[in-house]
């Protein structure tokens, strides 16, 4: 406890000293209309997408895409100004949230000044992460192909500048000029782009047709050959993938709406009654993101270990951990790593069903572990939720306004929905990755969650216009 306060005190002192020198996006001085918020959100998204099509000066195509595992999570594009995407922002934010959730950092978010200090500290950490990731990534990934030292410096400068611009775009939206957050907007746009590409791309594919399933169907009808429309080789979009994607979307929308509603009444506003919802997907998609990042990092480390110590797959002990195809070092062919990576596409799953089943079971198990961990560290435990209800001046009818009774009630539901929700998320993510949905399994999960959050925000915006007092009670500023 004392260590947490000491560390928090150091953070406060650092923030007070450097805050005047940190450039920030100012908050709107008056209420911004919904139309204006949508306009600013569109401008931010347009800038991000233009950066995603702007080549990184001095970059040569690396042999492997080391961030391929995280392109969806980080909304990034290889070889462009958004090479790192929102990675530094997500990394810094997740680190600060974990420090706060584990009570190493102690901030009272009910006080605006405390919340402001935490946000500024997060921004400082983001700058540090941007500098570190830009230097390390440029040297490790593009360094071997750079002959002139000045090109490396220019490349590092581009990565830093682009990441800082992305940080300000996210801040612009979060400060109230836009709707939601830039991080969510950029992720949703990236996944949507992948889905649209799988549906409508007219570019030629390896099987002689077009990549997009819609033009491919048209081409097949004209040719009078519909044999390969339902299932295509080389993980190309197919009718099976289209139906699978639609089915996963429907399941996600359905499960997102499942919740337990606990009635609450306000102790401050007489006559105000509402419900406290505990969703089946209580843990959201954070455990899936953490599980995917951990798995991908394990693959990357085993890849390095294999390349340096076992390039011919003749070391018995390393073979137990990982074996890769010498002609394609990014493709695992044996060891533990083989069973914790998905055989993407129905064709590969049929060839090795044990690997497909093993991967799905692995995803379920690891997402459950991270789900339980996130509930404790992310401030979602029954104890924290009970305290938040009391701090919000609400009471559950029939229960004393005290932590223990409310915590006991929430303890009946939160552990159960954490387990069941995590298992469903792990199952959907695993099956989606194995069978090859459009936009990837984790991409679909993130997109649906973000779209539902945006829908909720739009509803609250409209409520605030019609009934400002109710909007204030819903937590709008």
89-100 pLDDT, tens digit each: 888 887 887 777
| Whether residue 176 has pLDDT greater than 80 | yes
Furthest-apart CA pair in the chain: how many Å?
A: 75
pLDDT of residue 157: 94
| Whether residue 475 has pLDDT greater than 60 | no
Distance CA 148, CA 23 (A): 33
- Beta-sheet strands, E only, within 81-165: none
Distance CA 197, CA 154 (A): 32
Same domain, 345 and 453: yes
Indicate whether 408 belongs to any domain: yes
Domain count, the chain: 2
Q: How far apart are the first and last CA of the chain?
A: 32
Report helix, strand or coil for 277: strand
Indicate whether 249 belongs to any domain: no
Distance CA 302, CA 340 (A): 12
- For 42-87, write each residue's pLDDT tens digit: 999 999 999 998 999 888 776 666 666 667 778 888 889 999 888 8
pLDDT of residue 469: 46
Exposed/middle/buried for residue 187 (C-beta within 10 Å: 0-12, 13-18, 19+)? buried
Same domain, 302 and 442: yes
Same domain, 164 and 273: no
As given in the structure block, the two tokens for residue 130 are 């941007």
Distance CA 465, CA 186 (A): 27
Last residue of a domain, one of 122, 149, 179: 179
Between strands 323-325 and 273-279, the pairing is: unpaired
Indicate whether 194 belongs to any domain: no
pTM given for the model: 0.76
Instruction: Report the share of the chain in percent with pLDDT over 90.
Output: 14
Same domain, 301 and 416: yes
- For 256-271, write each residue's pLDDT tens digit: 888 888 888 877 666 6
Last residue of a domain, one of 148, 179, 210: 179
Question: In the predicted model, what is the mean pLDDT of the chain?
Answer: 82
SS3 content of the chain, % helix, strand, coil (to 5): 65, 5, 30
Indicate whether 437 belongs to any domain: yes
As given in the structure block, the two tokens for residue 134 are 């830009």
Strand ranges across the sheet with 273-279: 273-279, 259-266, 394-395
| Whether residue 166 has pLDDT greater than 90 | yes
Same domain, 152 and 293: no
> 249 or 106: whose pLDDT is higher?
249
CATH number of the domain residue 161 falls in? 1.10.3370.10
Mean pLDDT computed over 447-453: 83
Indicate whether 112 belongs to any domain: yes
Same domain, 90 and 174: yes
Nearest to 256 by CA among 440, 463, 444, 471: 444
Same domain, 333 and 444: yes
Range of the domain at 107: 2-25+33-179
């Amino acid at each position: 406890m004392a260590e947490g306060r000491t560390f928090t005190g150091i953070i406060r002192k650092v923030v007070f000293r450097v805050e005047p020198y940190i450039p920030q996006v100012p908050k709107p001085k008056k209420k911004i209309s919904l139309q204006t918020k949508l306009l600013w959100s569109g401008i931010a998204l347009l800038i991000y997408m233009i950066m995603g099509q702007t080549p990184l000066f001095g970059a040569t195509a690396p042999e492997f895409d080391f961030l391929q595992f995280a392109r969806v999570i980080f909304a990034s594009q290889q070889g462009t100004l958004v090479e790192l995407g929102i990675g530094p922002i997500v990394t810094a934010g997740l680190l600060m949230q974990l420090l706060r959730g584990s009570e190493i950092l102690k901030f009272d978010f009910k006080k605006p000044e405390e919340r402001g200090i935490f946000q500024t500290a997060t921004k400082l950490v983001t700058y540090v992460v941007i500098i570190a990731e830009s230097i390390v990534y440029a040297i490790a990934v593009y360094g071997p192909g750079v002959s002139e030292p000045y090109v490396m410096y220019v490349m590092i400068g581009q990565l830093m500048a682009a990441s800082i611009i992305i940080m300000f775009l996210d801040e612009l939206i979060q400060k109230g000029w836009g709707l939601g957050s830039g991080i969510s907007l950029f992720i949703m746009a990236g996944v949507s782009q992948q889905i649209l590409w799988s549906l409508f791309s007219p570019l030629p594919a390896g099987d002689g047709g077009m990549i997009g399933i819609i033009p491919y169907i048209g081409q097949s009808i004209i040719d009078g050959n519909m044999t390969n429309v339902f299932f295509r080789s080389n993980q190309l979009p197919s009718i099976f993938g289209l139906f699978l994607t639609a089915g996963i979307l429907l399941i996600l929308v359905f499960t997102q709406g499942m919740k337990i509603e606990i009635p609450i009444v306000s102790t401050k506003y007489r006559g105000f009654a509402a419900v406290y919802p505990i969703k089946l997907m209580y843990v959201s998609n954070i455990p899936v993101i953490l599980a995917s990042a951990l798995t991908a990092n394990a693959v990357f480390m085993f890849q390095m270990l294999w390349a340096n110590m076992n390039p011919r797959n003749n070391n018995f002990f390393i073979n137990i951990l990982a074996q890769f195809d010498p002609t394609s070092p990014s493709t695992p062919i044996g060891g533990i790593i083989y069973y914790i990576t998905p055989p993407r596409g129905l064709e590969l799953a049929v060839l090795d069903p044990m690997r497909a089943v093993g991967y799905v079971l692995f995803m379920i198990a690891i997402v459950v572990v991270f789900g339980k961990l996130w509930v404790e560290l992310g401030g979602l435990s029954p104890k924290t939720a009970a305290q938040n209800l009391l701090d919000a001046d609400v009471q559950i009818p029939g229960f004393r306004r005290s932590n223990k009774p409310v915590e006991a009630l929430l303890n009946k539901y939160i552990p159960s929905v954490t387990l069941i929700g995590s298992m469903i998320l792990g199952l959907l993510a695993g099956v989606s990755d194995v069978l090859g949905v459009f936009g990837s399994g984790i991409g679909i999960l993130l997109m649906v969650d973000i779209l539902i959050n945006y829908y909720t925000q739009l509803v609250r915006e409209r409520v605030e216009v019609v009934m400002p007092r109710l909007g204030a009670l819903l937590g709008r500023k």
